[in-house]
Amino acid sequence: MIRAAERDGLLTRGQPGIIVEGTAGNTGIGLALAGQVFGYDTVIVLADTQSEEKKQLLRWAGARVIEVPAVPYKNPANYVHVAARLADLLACESSATEGQQQPQQVFYANQWDNLANRMAHVEGTGPEIWEQTGGQLDAFSCAMGTGGTLSGVAQFLRSVTRSTHVVLTDPCGAAVKSFFEKGELAGCGSSISEGIGQGRITGNIEGFVPDYCFEIPDDEMLPVLHDIQKYDGLALGGSAGINVAGG
């Protein structure tokens, strides 16, 4: 997303720039780390209910973290909307600053609707998986946050084969499973997982349809996480546990 912003002139390498994003944590960590490498500041807005570990990682990665109350997306105080307004405010302040030789560029990453998200998986993740499996891939299982990973990998896989099943694997409470199966957004239940279980059709989800949909409750996800840590030495989060349980 940052490289696409540079190609579009929204950010310029070597000049002052700030990346703003509303996120449940993981994409914010990636943006903050990449921002450090590319020379940009990063401001992350997230719900105060997110794990302390994510907040600490964001700050460790160099981001300025702004916490807001956890409210539904339809509420104007939702972290996504707050981030969008903050980006506009920072852009206005930068352009109005007198005596500044080079105004600071402001880039609102908008991972939800920024199709550079999906394309990163069409061009990167999908081919990597295909290469590492030698093209012997029965199914790809993935949860949906922004939808970019599943829709992007699916786009690549369907361009090279029609025999690989693409599976949406989501936690209880996710509304998109109902959308794909019944044509309406409706969630039932809840989950301790963070950043997945989408309740709306984002720009990165539009036009995508999975072959199957699975719902993984927490009492199935947690034993998988414990096994992965015990037998594989990997300490992963809830979304990864749901992905593996789906597989």
Residue 217 buriedness (CB in 10 A; 0-12 / 13-18 / 19+): middle
pLDDT in tens, 173-209: 888 888 898 888 888 888 888 788 888 899 999 999 9
Q: How many CA atoms lie within 13 A of 31 on its CB side?
A: 30
What is the SS3 assignment for 42? strand
Q: What's CA 213's distance to the chain center, in Å?
A: 19
pLDDT at 62 over 60: yes
pLDDT at 32 over 90: yes
Alpha carbon of 190 to those of 36, 74, 163, 172: distances in Å? Answer: 35, 18, 33, 5
Q: Cβ distance 182 to 175 under 8 Å?
A: no
For residue 97, the model assigns a pLDDT of 65
pLDDT at 170 over 80: yes
Q: With cut-offs at 50, 70 and 90, classify the pLDDT of residue 98.
A: low
CB atoms within 10 A of CB 174: 29
Please tell me the distance from the alpha carbon of residue 121 to that of residue 127, in angstroms, as a whole number: 8
For residue 191, the model assigns a pLDDT of 87
Please tell me the distance from the alpha carbon of residue 52 to that of residue 234, in angstroms, as a whole number: 20
| Position with higher pLDDT, 194 vs 74 | 74
Q: According to DSSP H, which parts of the chain are helical?
A: 2-7, 26-38, 52-60, 79-96, 116-120, 126-132, 148-160, 176-182, 218-232, 238-246
Q: How is residue 116 written in tokens?
A: 């550079």
Kindly give, in sequence order, each residue whose CB lies less than 8 Å from that of residue 62, ignoring residues fewer than 6 positions away: 32, 33, 35, 36, 41, 42
For residue 245, the model assigns a pLDDT of 94
Q: What is the mean pLDDT of residues 227-233?
A: 97
DSSP code of residue 121: I
Kindly give, in sequence order, each residue whose CB lies less than 8 Å from that of residue 15, ignoring residues fewer than 6 positions away: 102, 105
DSSP code of residue 142: E
Kindly give, in sequence order, each residue whose CB lies less than 8 Å from that of residue 124, ignoring residues fewer than 6 positions away: none
For residue 178, the model assigns a pLDDT of 87
What's the pTM?
A: 0.89
State the amino acid at position 30 in one-letter form: G
Place of tokens 């300490």: 235
pLDDT in tens, 101-152: 677 899 999 999 999 999 999 999 999 999 999 999 999 999 999 999 999 9
pLDDT at 100 over 80: no
For residue 94, the model assigns a pLDDT of 80
Q: What is the dihedral of CA 91, 44, 59, 120, to 10 degrees?
A: -100
Please tell me the distance from the alpha carbon of residue 28 to that of residue 34, in angstroms, as a whole number: 10
Lowest mean pLDDT among 49-53, 93-97, 123-127: 93-97
**Residue of 214, 216, 159 lying closest to 193 (CA atoms):** 216
